[in-house]
Amino acid sequence: MAIDNITSKIIYDAEREAVLISQEAAARREEILALARKEAEEKREAMRADGEAERAAMVERNVSVAKIDAGKLILEEKQILIERCLAEAVKKIADLDEDVYLKFLADTAKTLAPEGGELILSERDREKYGEKLEKLLEESGGGKYALSKETRKIKAGVIVKRGSVYVNGSVEARIDAMRSELVPEVAARLFK
């Protein structure tokens, strides 16, 4: 029986040892799980913070792009309005009172070619003002001017031809030549 007592004691001690080991393993497992949960929560929090930072950066980029796009649209609209104003100025000059417009054409021709030349007008101006312009320039003295049979697709003004040289005094050409000066002034008046 002594062997049975020894065997029972060994089995008892082994079972007790197994229970202690199992309890220690369970406690260790809980420690490991708690540590893993804590690490997972920290990683989740870091990922959430990174996600928030990325989202904020993305929103900021999108807002910046939207502002740039809006600025482009506003600039395009301003350019369209400026072009409309310049076109309206050409139209107003073309629609001036007959005497005022004739004087404008004569002064332009004299400025472009004081010695004279062939006067090229738009088809409308040639029919409406051609002979009157030629007569006005003849009466005012100075260079010798003659009305050309040639017409050009200009809205207002005159082109003077001397030999093979054309001097463009159309209102459109004059506005184009002065565009760099006119656009800022028109913009300043339009967009106060």
75-97: pLDDT as tens digits: 888 888 888 888 888 899 889 89
| pLDDT at res. 44 | 87
| pLDDT at res. 123 | 94
| pLDDT at res. 27 | 84
**Which residues have C-beta within 8 Å of that of residue 122, sequence separation ≥ 6?**
151, 152, 153, 154, 155, 156
Q: Is the pLDDT of residue 1 over 60?
A: no
Rounded to an integer, the average pLDDT of 172-192 is 84
Q: Is the pLDDT of residue 11 over 80?
A: no
Rounded to an integer, the average pLDDT of 173-179 is 87
| pLDDT at res. 93 | 87
Are 102 and 158 in contact by the 8 Å Cβ rule? The answer is no
Q: Is the pLDDT of residue 72 over 70?
A: yes
Least confident of 40-49, 92-101, 112-121, 143-152: 40-49
In this prediction, residue 122 has a pLDDT band, given cuts at 50, 70 and 90, of very high
Report which of residues 138 and 1 the model is more confident about.
138
Taking all residues of the chain, what is their mean pLDDT, rounded to a whole number? 86
In this prediction, residue 99 has a pLDDT band, given cuts at 50, 70 and 90, of very high
